[in-house]
Amino acid sequence: MLVAIEGINGSGKSTITKLVAKALDFEQIRFPGDDRTELGVGIRKLLYSGNFESAYAKLFLFLADMANTYSVLKYDKNYIADRSIVSTLAYQSIEGMPKELVYHCAMSSGVYLDHVFYLDIDTEIAFERLNNRKEKTLEGFRDREIEFYEKVDTEYRKALENVKHTVIDTNGKSETQIADEIVYSIKDMLNGKEKKRQETK
């Protein structure tokens, strides 16, 4: 099984991904630049350098990273990803890339997701979290105005229409409560898969 945690920057994706991975004993994948491959590490460094003049170059680096990482995953293991192809669809659309091109490239990259969990958060809360961070963020997202995150949230919801997904309301909930909600949902999916497997024997 391969599931992903998605949401705008500042929604708590990385923290929730770690909590769910630990609770379910899933292997965690990080995008961009998962450290399973040398290529992934190199692409992450390039993307964080910010030295890009072409949105097309960034798009194809994202796609290359995902396709390469997914190619080394094992069929009999369960994985949870911090970001996925949905991020590519949302953010690259915001960056001004033709939506038809982004969609075609993303959906033909060979990446399959069983389910995506989208962390729904008030954009003002996410914006405040980002401004309080000290570490560097991908593509300088921390320096954007709040309107940018509102646009990203809109594009995310459009992108989610292309995959199986669940929107998780995070407002007023602790990180543990959010993670538990996702864990219970994934357990139900796993039980359903096992039931179908038994029925086909």
pLDDT, residue 200, reads 66
pLDDT, residue 112, reads 75
Report the alpha-carbon angle 184-190-192, nearest 5.
105
Written as tens digits, the pLDDT of the chain (201 aa) is 999 999 998 999 999 999 999 999 999 998 877 778 888 888 888 877 767 777 788 888 888 888 888 888 888 899 999 998 888 888 888 877 787 787 777 767 666 789 999 999 999 999 888 888 755 555 555 557 888 889 999 999 998 998 899 999 999 999 999 999 999 999 999 988 766 666 665
pLDDT, residue 96, reads 76
Burial class (CB in 10 A: 0-12, 13-18, 19+), 190: middle
CB–CB of 31/66 below 8 Å?
Answer: yes
Going along the chain from its start, the domains and CATH numbers come out as: 2-199 (3.40.50.300)
pTM of the model: 0.87
Rounded CA gap, 191 and 60, in Å? 36
pLDDT, residue 198, reads 61
pLDDT, residue 100, reads 79
H or E stretch at 146: helix 146-160
pLDDT, residue 6, reads 96
pLDDT, residue 115, reads 95
CB–CB of 147/153 below 8 Å?
Answer: no
pLDDT, residue 184, reads 97
